[in-house]
Amino acid sequence: MCIIFFKFDPHPVSKNAYRFILAANRDEFYHRPAKLADFWGSNNEVLSGKLVSHFLTADMDSLSYLKKVSAEGHLYNGFNLIAADLSTTKGDVVCYYGNRGDPEPIVLTPGTYGLSNALLETPWRKLCFGKQLFMDVVEQSQTLPKDAFVAQLLDVLSNEEAQLPDPAIEDQGQEYVRPILNKYAAVCVRGSNYGTRTNTIILVDADGQVTFTERSMLDKDPSCWETTTHEFMLQS
C-alpha cells in the first residue's frame, strides 16, 4: 500500500507558485532491502530509485512510453504508473496508466490528484482525507518558506488517523487487511513489520528548479529516520 498526492499547473499565475508538487509515501515490509533515491552510477542526469529506471534513460515521451507499457499491461499484477515530461520550453505533460482500468493511458488535465492501492482518484476514505490535507497545505505554498512548506507536507504524509469505516479498502484486502485495518486505513501506515518506510516530496517551481526531499526509515526502526534533499534545474 502506497499513497501519492500531486498537483500540477503548467502555467502558474504567480512567479512564486510551484508548477508541480508531489507528496508520496512508500509502504513496504520493514525487512525488505531498499536503497535511497540517488544519482546512480556515472549518470548524474538521473535522480531515482531503481524502479522504472528505463523510462528515465529512454528517449521517449511519457505518453509514448505508457502506450508501450499498456500493450503488455495484461501480463502483470495490478500496477499504476505516472509519467511526466516537465519542460520549461515545451510545456508540462503528465500521463497516467493503471493496468486494471482503461486499456489506454490518459493525459491528465492540470489539477490535484490522489492515488493509492487502486486506480487514480478511487475515493477511498484515507485517500480523500489525505488529499484534503494536501490541498490545505498547498494553498499556503506561496506564503511559506520552502523548508516550512516541505515540513508541512511531511506532516500530511505522517498522519496516522485511521479513516474508518471504509468497506472498499476492507473488501480489497480481505483476510490480509482486516487484522491491521486500523493501521492500514491511515495515510501513514504503522504496523509491527509493515508500513510507511519512505516519504518523498518533489517541488518544481516556475523556472524549473527542482527540490527533491526524501525521508527514509533506518534500520527497520519506525522511530529512526534520515532526510536527504537534492536541488537542481530541469534540463529542457
pLDDT in tens, 119-161: 999 999 999 999 999 999 999 998 999 999 999 999 999 999 9
Grid cell locating 130 = 489525505
Distance CA 113, CA 9 (A): 12
Instruction: Tell me which residue of 90, 126, 123, 93 sits closest to 110, measured CA to CA.
Output: 93
Taking a C-beta distance cutoff of 8 angstroms, is the pair 46, 57 a contact?
A: yes
What integer pLDDT is reported at residue 174 of this predicted model? 63
CATH number reported for the structural domain that contains residue 222 in this entry: 3.60.60
Q: What is the pLDDT of residues 37-58, one digit of tens each?
A: 888 767 677 888 777 777 887 8
- Structurally, the chain folds into a number of domains equal to 1
What integer pLDDT is reported at residue 12 of this predicted model? 81
What integer pLDDT is reported at residue 167 of this predicted model? 85
Taking a C-beta distance cutoff of 8 angstroms, is the pair 6, 198 a contact?
A: no
User: Which domain, by its residues, includes 8?
Assistant: 3-233
Backbone angles phi, psi at 166, to 5 degrees: -145, 90
Dihedral angle, C-alpha 91, 56, 151, 138, nearest 10 °: 30
Mean pLDDT of the chain: 90
What integer pLDDT is reported at residue 236 of this predicted model? 65
Distance CA 233, CA 89 (A): 13
For the chain, which residues score pLDDT lower than 50? none
Distances 92 to 9, 43, 108, 204, 223 between C-alpha atoms, Å: 8, 23, 10, 11, 38
